[in-house]
Amino acid sequence: MKQRFLIAVLAAVAAIAVSLTAVEAADPKAGKTKATACQTCHGLDGIAKIPIAPHIAGESQIYLQTQLKAFRSGKRVHEMMSVVAEQLSDEDISDISAWYSSIVVTATMPAE
């Protein structure tokens, strides 16, 4: 039982290390150029342009990568995103995710 737990922990640590390496290697500037395919729905600034698209500016890079890879693999399915994501390489996904996660979003609370 302890051996299985140790193996699971080591596998999780290895997966995190691989994810962080991909995050570090990403190029936000290249991602901005590659994000032109995303701008119709999500905007180049990450603020959605259509009601059915989410705002993605300032989202976690790891979250964005995970979602794009899920669309690409078919684990997550969406009429538009599945088609777009299947055309993306791992490098494209890292760069685009780096671009959108680098955008700073601020919020203003309404007056009470």
Question: Each residue of 56-100: pLDDT tens digit?
Answer: 999 999 999 999 999 999 999 999 999 999 999 999 999 999 999
Task: Say what the pLDDT of residue 112 is.
Answer: 87
User: How confident is the model at residue 15, as a pLDDT?
Assistant: 57
Out of 1.10.760.10, 2.30.30.100, 3.90.550.10, 3.30.420.40, the CATH code matching 2-102 is 1.10.760.10
pLDDT of residue 25: 83
Q: Give CA–CA dist 28/110, Å, rounded.
A: 32
| CB of 42 closer than 8 Å to CB of 49 | yes
How much is the pTM? 0.77
Give residue 73's pLDDT: 98
Rounded Cα distance between 43 and 47, Å, is 5
Q: How far apart are CA 108 and CA 1, in angstroms?
A: 50
- Domain range list for the chain: 2-102
Spatial contact of 62 and 24, defined as CB atoms under 8 Å apart: no
**Would you state the structure tokens that stand for residue 68, as one six-digit string?**
């794009």
Residue 20 has pLDDT above 70, yes or no: no
